[in-house]
């Protein structure tokens, strides 16, 4: 089950069923199925608070993914700062919706086991994001 929740901001407008089907398709492409996945859309201050409290990081970010997956089924809580998504969309000169979908699927790819700590891993993550984004219309 995929849930879309928010704190302090409204859930962004998108076709939830279509996005959920896309998320399931991307997970299946990585030989995973969706278990309990919750997205919490929030502002920069909330994501900074979560980053400090749980990861001991003192910076803003677009997404934080908490993974409780097993070998075959992905489970997790994903915090997305809509303010950072908006500023990244502006910086990269892409539509907000496209950047939002990139971040949504970025978290799912983490739950599928793809990391982005090293330069090589970042390249793989970007390739997988782009591959997933080709499956959905903006």
Residue-wise pLDDT tens digits, 10-48:
999 999 999 999 999 999 999 999 999 999 999 999 999
pTM score, two decimals?
0.95
Domains, the chain, in order of start with CATH, read: 2-133 (3.40.390.30)
At 116, is the secondary structure helix, strand, or coil?
coil
Quote the distance between the C-alpha of residue 48 and its chain's center. 16
Residues contacting 75, CB < 8 A, separation 6+: 35, 36, 37, 67, 68, 69, 111
- pLDDT greater than 80 at residue 104: yes
* Token couple for 8: 């302090």
Residue-wise pLDDT tens digits, 45-98:
999 999 999 999 899 999 999 999 999 999 999 999 999 999 999 999 999 999
């Amino acid at each position: 089950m995929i849930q879309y929740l928010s704190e302090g901001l409204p859930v962004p407008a998108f076709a939830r069923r279509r996005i959920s089907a896309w998320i399931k398709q991307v997970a299946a492409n990585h030989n995973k199925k969706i278990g309990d996945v919750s997205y919490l859309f929030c502002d920069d201050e909330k994501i900074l608070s979560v980053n400090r409290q749980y990861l001991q990081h003192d910076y803003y970010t677009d997404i934080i993914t908490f993974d409780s997956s097993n070998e075959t089924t992905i489970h997790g809580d994903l915090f997305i700062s809509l303010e950072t998504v908006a500023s990244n969309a502006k910086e990269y000169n892409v539509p907000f919706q496209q950047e939002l979908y990139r971040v949504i699927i970025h978290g799912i790819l983490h739950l599928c086991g793809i990391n982005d700590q090293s330069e090589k891993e970042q390249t793989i993550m970007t390739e997988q994001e782009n591959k997933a984004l080709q499956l959905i219309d903006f």
